[in-house]
Amino acid sequence: MADSDGEFVADDMSDDDLMDHTIDDDVDHEPTDRHGRSGGGGGGGGGGGSKSSARTRGRRKRDRKGAAQAWEQSKRTWETNLPEEDQDGLLNLTTLEAERRRRLLRDTTPLQRGIIRHMVLVLDMSFAMAEKDLLPTRYRLTLGYAAAFVREFFEQNPISQLGIVGMRGGVAVRISDLGGNPAEHLEKLKELKDQDPQGNPSLQNALEMCRGALFHAPSHGTREVLIIYGALLSSDPGDIHETINSLIADRIRVSVVGLSAEVAICAEICSRTNAGDESQYNVAMDETHYRDLFLAATTPPVTRTAEQSVASILMMGFPSRTLAPGGSTSYCACHSRPAREGYNCTRCGVRVCRLPAECPACGLTLILSTHLARSYHHLFPLRNWVEVPWSAAGRSAACFSCMCPFPDPKPPDAPGSGSGGGGKENKVRGVSESGRYACEVCGNHFCIDCDIFAHEVVHNCPGCQSLSAAAGQHDDGVNGNGNVQNGDGAMVVDG
């Protein structure tokens, strides 16, 4: 029969026979002979063996009750990003807030960047993407992140163009052509969900296809290739070093996000095509790190060489939306689809259905002024806001932007107030002890939510914008983006 703790106990077994079949590594016993009798105190006989076996079983049951089971020690995927609890059972949001601030804080030095980008996204669709180290699989997760990348890319770079290429079966597959319509790329990515990864990847074939797609890209824009690589091999038909030399001659930059281990040829490609910068090749450690590396490519690259920093004048058109005369329907020149509204080219008058676009007749770049403004924040990013200590928190009771109330300021001698010896302060780097974050230009205090929203979405300081609106012009020395201007309108980088 089966005992209550899962052991098998025969009906006709004696206590001595039971001791011969008992294994216990955690409890030290006295030495026994082959019949289970204790070597010391021979007067006990069989009764001593019965008592010792009963004590052993009872001690083993107590140890099992106190130890955690294997399924209790497992870590669920939905529990990995949750904040920990403190001694009172409340969620400790300090670590979570520190993680949000860590992703937010970046170098805000104004640098020359190429805001008109031409990028080709290369997806690994080989057998290596069927691995399940990234849930649900590498392939499924990559398709989901690729769709998010397309949306974020055109949100941050509205006057840029994107194309998608796949690697499977030793060849390169063209998924979508180079264009500025995100809906077309998302539709092509949805069709890939019904396919399964197979075959070997080929870096050389993919890079050669990218070269052909970027061959007609104008010289005033950047030429970039982003590769999502999950394999540890590459099935190339020729010498890939000749392809690398061709990429350097065509001024094409290559960035790689690896999903396995670091591959030497990928590191060489990124280093040689980015003027020796080795930071363009990274290997993802988990799903969150993978998403961060993927979406980091939405920021325009820094201009590094003298050939890339040559200024050029680009002619653009800024048309207005118009309706077809008399409520009729006309066909657009870009897709040959009927539409009642569209945009007429400012040079030749040809109608296109959406912007940004390139005129199919004369080749003029057609955009809106808002598209250019959304790309401008990469050149002059909003400065990082600083943490406000308790000593300076008394002059604000609520967030300047959302009017969310702040915690009441602590007295100077209170524990954790930042001054005095009232207690040991437990500070986390990047997190304000008072819950306030101040703009160094206008001096207003904001909460953490407004801090993230202003830097990631609006890209402008509400306090600086209110000062600009009150003055009517930029006479107060603030340009509305958290940067300071001098008398002749030039920007002062270091304030």
Give residue 393's pLDDT. 86
Question: If you average pLDDT over every residue of the chain, what do you get?
Answer: 76
pLDDT at 103: 54
Reduced to 3 DSSP states, what percent helix, strand and coil does the chain have, rounded to the nearest 5?
35, 15, 50
User: What is the pLDDT confidence band of residue 382, given thresholds at 50, 70 and 90?
Assistant: confident
Select, from the ranges 83-87, 113-117, 146-150, the one with the highest average predicted confidence (pLDDT). Answer: 146-150
pLDDT band at 32 (very low <50, low <70, confident <90, very high): very low
Written as one string, the DSSP assignment of 75-87 is: --GGGTTSPPB-T
pTM exceeding 0.75: no
In angstroms, the CA 168 to CA 200 distance is: 6
What tens digit of pLDDT does each residue of 227-250 get?
999 999 999 999 999 999 999 999
**Residue 63 confidence (pLDDT):** 57
Please name the residue that has the structure tokens 């676009």: 357
Q: Does residue 35 carry a pLDDT above 50?
A: no
Above 60 in pLDDT, residue 389? Answer: yes
Range name among 177-191, 383-397, 475-489 with the lowest pLDDT average: 475-489
pLDDT value of residue 490: 43
Which of 279, 317, 258 shows the shortest CA–CA distance to 138? Answer: 258
Would you say 297 and 348 are in contact if contact means Cβ atoms under 8 Å apart?
A: no
Confidence at 212, pLDDT banded by 50, 70, 90 = very high
Categorize the per-residue pLDDT at 31 as very low, low, confident or very high, splitting at 50, 70 and 90.
very low
**What's the CA gap between 373 and 365, in Å, rounded?**
16
Please determine, for residue 406, whether its predicted confidence score (pLDDT) is greater than 50.
yes
What pLDDT was estimated at residue 190? 94
**Interaxial angle between packed helices 264-273 and 203-213, expressed in degrees from 0 to 180 and rounded to the nearest 10:** 20
pLDDT (tens digit per residue) in 161-182: 999 999 999 999 999 999 888 9
In degrees, rounded to 5, the angle at the alpha carbon of residue 360 between the alpha carbons of residues 357 and 366 is 30
Long-range contacts of 474-480 (CB under 8 A, 24+ apart): 478/441, 478/442
Q: Mean pLDDT, to the nearest integer, of 426-452?
A: 81
- Asked whether the beta carbons of 215 and 178 are under 8 A apart, the reply is no
CATH numbers and ranges of domains, the chain: 114-298 (3.40.50.410), 322-376 (no CATH), 380-495 (3.30.40.10)
Average of pLDDT values for 446-460? 85
